[in-house]
Structure 1
Amino acid sequence: MFKKMKGTYDILPTEVAKWQKLEKVIRNVSKIYNYKEIRTPIFEKSELFHRGVGEDTDIVSKETYDFIDRGKRANTLRPEGTAGVVRSYIENKLYTSNVPVQKMYYVGNMFRYERPQKGRYRQFSQFGAEAFGSNSPQLDAEIIAYAVSILKALKIKDVNVHINSIGDAESKKNYKEALLTYLAPDIDKLCSDCQVRYTKNPLRILDCKIDAENPILQKAPKPLDYLTETAKIHFVKTCNYLTAMGINYTVDTSLVRGLDYYTHTVFEVKANLDTLGAQNTICGGGRYNNLVKSLEGPDTPGVGFAFGLERLMFALESINFTGDPDYLHLYMMILGEDQKEDGLQLVNRCRLGGLYTDLDFLDKGMKGKWKQAANLKARFVAIFGEEEQKNGTINIKDQETGKEETIKKTQLYNYVVAELMKPSSNCEGCSTESCDECEDV
């Protein structure tokens, strides 16, 4: 028997509704913030991620799925979404648009070869957003507000943003020199990865999970102390805008994030939920003013964030997040071989009109048909047999009210729609069992 690959998982039909609801929230909030969806290829040239994400990051050095295709080209399954979106922004010359600030979001599969654990997989789904074309701290504040709004729309109430600034190029240069000088006498007391990072990418040392509580790192110089005046102003304004919008935040002076391309603002969104415990970071992002230029595009600033949807779904277990109700408007019982053509015609008419409709394909007896209608949560059950065909009628029962009627078969669709439009005990605001309009965003 074949089994799924390690680090992957199946989303079964019984679970898909939750994912669809999560994606619906994402799309609704994105529309509110005027972010448009972009879809990029699932694999790109390996060089894109090496240059964009960084040669010395764990993602590129340890976790990418690389392969050589039949044309001897080096390709990589995308490990994150930003680099591909930037490539598309450059290649399709979106910077020439009459909309100077391009705001986009994506939802798609990513791939990293890492140790699978609850909420983390080798194939995973990521939701991210990117905004290009403005260096305004207002855009930093908006992208953070956007991320927080996703969680609020999912009924996650206890949310806090951890924010820091690593500054512009000059700030990073000054800080890097100070950090190297500070760490030099004690670098052999840190983990082997940190010792390698010391020569290749010292800022990544602050992101180390092994030595996070090591006094050496806790007493290390902080990026905020080395900001240029311009970088300080940018950070202060970003924080002030968050305050103005009522967004809870904490200045975390040790926060640097794990990717090379960040400049100025970096942030993580944390949610206090039982399922997450102390590891409660659920979203991360920041500004990357040099990334577009480094990938051979124009000198264009950018800012963005990303959520791992599996981890978000894991977090939602704390609040009993469920999908929209799974139900049918109509279940058709066709009784007899000679009635199947006329019966299918009725079924097709209802489906083309937008009614969720199904029928028995196994020619079960009446008891089996009624049981199947109940299992499928059908609101209406229609019976079409020899007598009904001869009389041009159909029998229909409302499973919610118990009302039974015989109507003209040509009126089936209109009858069901009219009954669905009547006030229902399921929702005070409308008439359907599953109400999109009356739900919160």
Structure 2
Amino acid sequence: MPSKRLPKLSSTSTTEAAPFNIKNKHRRSTHNVALRSTIARAKRQARFDRRKAETRDPSLRRERLKQNVPQTLDSKRVSVENPWVPSAELLERAKRKRDEMEGTENDSPKEEDEDEESSDDDIRAHMKDKAKDLSTNIEGAEDSEDEEADEDNDQDDDLGSLYDSDSDAEPSSKRPKPSKAPNPPAKDFSSSTLPEETLNALLSLIPHPTTPPKLLLTTTRMARRHDLYKTLTTLLPNATYVPRGSRFTIPQIASFATNRAYTHLIVGLEDSKHLHGLIIILLPHGPTFHFSLTNFADGKAIQGRGVNTNHIPELILNNFTTPIGRLTASLFQSLYPPQPQFQGRQVVTLHNQRDYIFFRMHRYVFRAVDTESKGSRGDRTTGAEQVGVGGQRAGEDLGIRVGLQELGPQFTLKLRRVERGVCEGVEWEWKGRMEKDRKMFHL
């Protein structure tokens, strides 16, 4: 008897079998290549059809971009678990400074105009004498260097000139000391944003400059790479570089700089002939900001770089949103004069991304696009001659392209610590456990 064939049992696996399987390896490879080419050709044709439709109706492109928003770490940002709350002492200092600023603005200059003018002239003459003393002392220290003397003694003489010419300053016993107010209990803020009144009082610690700032740049003890610090002076207008040596501490240097009408003290941190940090102090009473510096690239290392023309640059600050971030942005804003020189077409950008601050310096130029070459990028009929002053209306629809040339140098900053006064007490500090969640940013 012929054997009966049993029915084929259905597969119990969760995955379904392929509709067919080509056993020959070369045929299977050729089939897969042809299949991928067909799919890619269909996608390409769909893109072309979509572009034609969006060219006829621009509203289709706007709707598509609204629906297809890419997800980034910035868009997935989460709130800080323990937001920074300024201490009561820092808020007290900020309120006192704000009251002093409001008091000076409200004072009427009608009475005793002649006395005030004469006193202003005396102060200006006095400050000019101070500046002359400082410049002559620094030049004298540089001219009196002996060839046989070592480098350490030369550096001591540089800041020594600041100290020796400080005879006209007020004695330390007569200097007013900041009053220590009792520490009331600090308020708890559940969110990462402070109340508007508290934030405005906090930002008054670093007011917007109304006159060009005056910066003093110095080094660490036993610095060697003086060319790096001279490069930093080209980035900061009205900056004076004086080597530090090993005789004075940072509070002493801050006192010397305050007596010489400096508004900021910048200390470059050097290790193994490389810059690894910056300390920026707002004179006379702080606060103090500590930054780590990485990825320093001199202008000579940038391909196609331009030459800095020493014009006062424009300033762009991006993505400083939190209270500590806005305080940091105010610090950078106070380093540059309030009125840039637009004829230089130079711009300094401080871009905050994931708590890393990228420093870049560029020169820009606006170029007109030919009518023949702009047809492939859309219907743009407005010419470059219709753009307003400064290029504020420049864009693709106006037939304008912006050319950028990097001037250098470039580096990356990261805020590590904020102190209340001149190295008096830690107000905010970055710690390693703050980076456990990549979507949590503090600036």
TM-score, with normalisation over the residues of structure 2? 0.21
TM-score, with normalisation over the residues of structure 1? 0.21
